[in-house]
């Protein structure tokens, strides 16, 4: 193996969300170890969290790092959307003593992982087989709504970086028109994320109860999901089904936009926890509901990502690409 600067190990990988920050070391090409998940609120800055992680692992002379983070990355200054951390990429690189540092949106990092996820960590929900070298679409509700994708160019895969979760919500039936009206009394712009997120599930439930003249108990997304999956509340189940239906339409619109014959992948923190309930939900029916293009969508496979740390796999792939190295899955 080369002893040049691009082959130095270990390397630091991180997947940083509004609630948790996941750190790992790439100890050899494609080998990810020492995974550690820590609450972001425990540390005043990302630098402090990274230094603490490196100290605990005993890693020294880390020269290269890649960080996927839950916010838009448009320049040197990075400020998280759902957390207080803010930093300069150049300063973070300097303070950690790095030769190179890649910082990218967390869903762009997740898009990097798509070609490398084992089939055993993907649950297919409808559709046929993926078509090699065609675009892949990625969407995932969690704290917010992540949207990305991956296309292929002459030099290989190209992940997309955007903020598709903030496009305007498009109602598909009368109840969703009422949902939009309910949300519009609170928000100047009713984005798809307003419904496809943890707080969005709560908003759907609150709005549906209000439409029926029923009192709202202020249930959290976790409460709604637990009561729905446990068969304790038909209203919670109906709200969860509506959430899955809206996700189906949003995923279908993204698949049409990208021509995602390589597959549509669902990440985030909510859907993987739904199990068979998601498979039986209106998701796939609504995904294929596209009028004259319904057959085009019907052939596309949709997958729920069940990998434990896909963001770290994506960060590793992004770093390998930055250093012009082959990716080792």
Q: Which residues are annotated as a binding site?
A: 14-19
Whether 125 and 284 have beta carbons less than 8 Å apart is answered as yes
Beta strands 86-88 and 77-79: pairing type? antiparallel
Residues in the annotated binding site for ATP: 14-19
Rounded Cα distance between 311 and 307, Å, is 9
The DSSP letter of residue 250 is H
Rounded Cα distance between 241 and 25, Å, is 39
Rounded Cα distance between 84 and 43, Å, is 10
**For residue 64, what are the contacts with CB-CB under 8 A and spacing of at least 6?**
6, 8, 11, 12, 98, 99, 100, 101, 319, 323
Rounded Cα distance between 322 and 315, Å, is 10
Tokens 């190990």 found at: 9
């Amino acid at each position: 193996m080369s002893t040049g600067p691009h082959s130095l190990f270990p390397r630091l990988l991180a997947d940083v969300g509004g609630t948790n920050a996941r750190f790992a070391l790439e100890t050899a090409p494609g080998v990810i170890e020492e995974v550690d998940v820590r609450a972001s609120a425990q540390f005043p800055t990302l630098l402090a969290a990274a230094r603490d992680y490196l100290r605990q692992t005993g890693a020294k002379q880390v020269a290269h790092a890649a960080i996927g983070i839950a916010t838009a990355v448009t320049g040197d200054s990075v400020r998280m959307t759902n957390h207080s951390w803010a930093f300069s990429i150049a300063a973070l690189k300097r303070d950690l003593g790095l030769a190179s540092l890649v910082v990218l949106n967390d869903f762009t990092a997740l898009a990097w992982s798509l070609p490398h996820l084992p089939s055993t960590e993907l649950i297919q929900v409808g559709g046929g087989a993926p078509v090699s070298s065609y675009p892949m679409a990625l969407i995932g509700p969690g704290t917010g709504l992540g949207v990305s994708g991956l296309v292929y160019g002459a030099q290989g895969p190209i992940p997309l970086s955007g903020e598709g979760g903030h496009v305007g919500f498009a109602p598909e039936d009368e109840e969703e028109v009422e949902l939009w009206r309910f949300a519009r009394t609170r928000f100047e712009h009713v984005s798809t994320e307003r419904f496809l997120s943890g707080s969005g599930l709560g908003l759907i439930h609150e709005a549906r109860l209000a439409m029926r003249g029923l009192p709202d108990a202020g249930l959290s997304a976790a409460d709604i999901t637990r009561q729905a999956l446990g068969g304790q509340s038909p209203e919670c189940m109906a709200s969860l089904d509506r959430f899955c239906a809206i996700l189906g339409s949003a995923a279908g619109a993204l698949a049409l936009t990208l021509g995602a014959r390589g597959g549509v992948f669902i990440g985030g923190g909510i859907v993987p926890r739904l199990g068979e309930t998601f498979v039986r939900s209106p998701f796939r029916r609504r995904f294929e509901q596209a009028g004259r293009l319904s057959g085009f969508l019907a052939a596309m496979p949709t997958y729920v990502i069940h990998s434990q740390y896909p963001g770290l796999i994506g960060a590793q792939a992004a770093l390998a690409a930055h250093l012009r190295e082959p990716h080792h899955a």
